[in-house]
Amino acid sequence: MGSYLVHTTSKIAALAKSGRVTHARKLFDEMPHRDTVVWNTMLTCYTHLDLYQDALLLFHEMTGVSNTKPDHYSFTATLSACAGSCKLRYGQSIHALVVSAGYCSSVPVNNALIDMYAKCFSPCSAHKVFEEIEFRNHVSWCSLLFAYVHTNEFQVAQTVFDSMPNKVNIAWNTMIAGHARHGNVDTCVDLFKKMMAESCDQDQWTYSALMNASAESQQYCVGCMVHACIVKNGWSSAVEASNSILSFYAQIGSPADAVKMFESMKTLTQVSWNAIIDAQMKIGDTHKAVIAFQQAPEKNVVSWTSMMTGYVRNGNAEEAVGYFVNMSKSSLRPDDFSLGTVLHACSVMATLGHGKMIHSLAIVHGFHGYAYVGNGLVNMYAKCGDVRGSKQAFDDISEKDLVSWNTMLIAYGLHGWGEKALKIYEEMLASGLKADKVTFISLLMTCSHLGLIDKGWTLFKSMSRVHGIVPETDHVACVVDMLARGGYLEEAREMANRYRTHGMIGRSSEAVFGACYAHGDVLMGTELVGELSMLEPECEMSYVVLSNLYCASEKWKEAELVRKQMADYGVKKTPGCSWIEVKNKVSAFVAGSSLCEYKEEISSIIYLLEYQLKNP
């Protein structure tokens, strides 16, 4: 029996290591007798392959159905699965089992507990476990350090780092990587210098973190210097380091360098392929991005999301939705980023049907409460005209960030729900969040469209006086538009002139100019067109609005001269485009277009409606 167990356990481990985990599980299930070692082997296999849910179900079967007593190996593997899947409550229940089973003094189990709490964003619980450990090693210290870095509590993390009896390489890398995520490149470089001063060895993870810091902060020169250090110190062939260099050039907007780096790499991983796809998409070369995507030997969720993001960025939202559908067909589970991206595509196309289907998927996979997905849902419903849907999605977000509140503000503002927009603003302030520039653009736009001039003025003044925000072009343009819409043309023009020295005259004058047409003020409109023509001679708006203004005043000759001047300068009016969603397909059309797919059917219906109107 003993030799059979040893042989079968080894075979299970070998099958899982080769990627044949289904065969490994089949062999495991066929065993007539299983000891703790066999269970631990299968648990470890699932954890190493990131099959965390399978690992947790197996542990439940081990301790429940089979009544096998777990040991410290069982607990460390299961806690690792809890950490990987970010399941805090399940991890807490395992912690209780650890205590009842008497493994509180086990250093590996305690380290696994700290790691679990760290990755589940519970640094206080991690610290409590750390304090209860009698014998701590460098893994204990590094896990606690990661707990605070992971939750962006850098001051506490620095205190832990300074208290470490022995600052090993992993500790330095954890600190550098944490600051790198926020683009704190100066702090990263300072840590790197101190690391060298203390004669601590640097590895590919050190340099990878520095490259990521350079990418996040868009510091091209720093990135190039780090690249030089990587080559000089012999880490250029290391996969992690080379991938970080490739990603840096892709993010910084240097596709030629990214392609050069990609072609020089001997070992290409999924990260490498994803980076080159992203680089090609950023320069608008969707064809080369598709080729890279097709050539990639394996495609993960990031690969598909890169394609979707690229297509949306390059104005082809419909193709992005197509890639999401194909990703779903490939049996890959979407994450919050892929769902957020496809929701953005749906909002661009204003396809409510598609958006609702994605919303259902988000609920099924448990992502509807995530801020990134929830914000995308709020925006999608707003762009599709369903404000109540926006509010429902907003209410479902578990932890609302500033983007959540701003998106809901914009949704109400777009649809003229002024009172609700102002109420949301008050609720946002009550929640402890501070308004930013986008918040006030939303509020001022709402006040402008609803004619709330007094409220708009109050909000505009509070920007600098209460919130310390300096008004920018968009804020001034909103206020000028608000005044102009309300018929206060002189006041609007006066304000536009007041900000002339701040480089804001163009946008502000456009707002006044549009109001001149609405109120029929030909004199002021004529004066403003001169200013706009000098500032932006290629802008179509000034010519079109002035021409319409002359036509409304029956000054046909002047209108004709404006149109001639427009033709002489080569300025063309972009035709207005309309679209409609029928059976989950969007059809766009412009006035006079003969390219519509259903032209004959539409013409027949219009003819019928026209006949019925004339012959009631």
Rounded to an integer, what distance in angstroms lies between the CA atom of residue 445 and that of residue 529?
24
| Whether residue 249 sits in one domain with residue 203 | yes
Rounded to an integer, what distance in angstroms lies between the CA atom of residue 135 and that of residue 161?
18
Domain that holds residue 583: 577-614
In this structure, is residue 205 part of a structural domain? Answer: yes
Rounded to an integer, what distance in angstroms lies between the CA atom of residue 118 and that of residue 399?
19
Q: Three-state SS for 582?
A: strand
For position 570, which CATH number holds? 1.25.40
| Whether residue 598 sits in one domain with residue 545 | no
Amino acid letter for position 96: A
Tell me how many domains the chain contains: 3
Q: Which residues of 15-40 are buried (b: 16+ CB within 10 A; e: fewer)?
A: bbeeeebeebbebbeeeeebeeebbb
Beta carbons of 259 and 227 less than 8 angstroms apart:
no
How far CA 297 is from CA of 244, 271, 292, 347, 356, in Å, comes to 20, 12, 10, 32, 33
Beta carbons of 226 and 214 less than 8 angstroms apart:
yes
How far CA 522 is from CA of 481, 538, 541, in Å, comes to 18, 22, 15
| Whether residue 515 sits in one domain with residue 595 | no
Instruction: Determine how many CB atoms are found less than 10 A away from the CB of residue 89.
Output: 9
pLDDT of residue 615: 79
What is the DSSP code (8-state) at residue 501? Answer: G
β partners of residue 578: 589
In this structure, is residue 213 part of a structural domain? Answer: yes
| Whether residue 567 sits in one domain with residue 516 | yes
| Whether residue 591 sits in one domain with residue 478 | no
Of 275, 298, 321, which residue sits at a domain end? 298
- Pick from 467, 425, 466: which is nearest to 444 by CA? 425
In this structure, is residue 83 part of a structural domain? Answer: no
| Whether residue 567 sits in one domain with residue 506 | yes
| Whether residue 514 sits in one domain with residue 481 | yes
| Whether residue 602 sits in one domain with residue 531 | no
How far CA 564 is from CA of 349, 535, 581, in Å, comes to 36, 20, 38
| Whether residue 599 sits in one domain with residue 516 | no
Of 280, 298, 316, which residue sits at a domain end? 298
Q: What share of the chain is helix, strand, coil (3-state, %, to 5)?
A: 75, 0, 25
Rounded to an integer, what distance in angstroms lies between the CA atom of residue 48 and that of residue 55?
10
Terminal CA-CA length for the chain:
94
Rounded to an integer, what distance in angstroms lies between the CA atom of residue 281 and that of residue 289?
6
| Whether residue 510 sits in one domain with residue 597 | no
- Pick from 505, 99, 580: which is nearest to 349 by CA? 580
In this structure, is residue 223 part of a structural domain? Answer: yes
Rounded to an integer, what distance in angstroms lies between the CA atom of residue 30 and that of residue 182?
50
Rounded to an integer, what distance in angstroms lies between the CA atom of residue 366 and that of residue 360?
10
Rounded to an integer, what distance in angstroms lies between the CA atom of residue 446 and that of residue 423?
12
Which tokens belong to 103? 């493994």
Residues sharing a CB contact under 8 Å with residue 331, sequence separation 6 or more, in sequence order: none
Longest dimension (CA), the chain: 105
Q: Exposed, middle or buried by CB within 10 Å (0-12, 13-18, 19+), for 567?
A: exposed
pLDDT of residue 503: 47
**Alpha-helical regions (H) of 86-137:** 88-101, 107-119, 123-132
In this structure, is residue 587 part of a structural domain? Answer: yes
Rounded to an integer, what distance in angstroms lies between the CA atom of residue 147 and that of residue 115?
7
Rounded to an integer, what distance in angstroms lies between the CA atom of residue 109 and that of residue 79?
8
Q: What is the DSSP string of 286-304?
A: HHHHHHHHHH-S---HHHH
In this structure, is residue 492 part of a structural domain? Answer: yes
Of 251, 272, 298, which residue sits at a domain end? 298
Torsion of CA 52, 56, 61, 64, to 10 degrees: 170
CA angle 92, 165, 156 (to 5 degrees): 55
| Whether residue 251 sits in one domain with residue 204 | yes
For position 193, which CATH number holds? 1.25.40.10
Q: What is the CA radius of gyration of the chain?
A: 31
Per-residue pLDDT tens for 118-144?
Answer: 999 899 999 999 999 888 899 999 999
Beta carbons of 364 and 336 less than 8 angstroms apart:
no
In this structure, is residue 585 part of a structural domain? Answer: yes
Which tokens belong to 165? 């009896």
Rounded to an integer, what distance in angstroms lies between the CA atom of residue 442 and that of residue 406?
7
β 585-590/577-582 pair status:
antiparallel
Question: Which residues of the chain fall below pLDDT 50?
Answer: 1, 501-506, 508
| Whether residue 279 sits in one domain with residue 262 | yes
DSSP element (H, E) containing 474? helix 473-485
In this structure, is residue 323 part of a structural domain? Answer: no
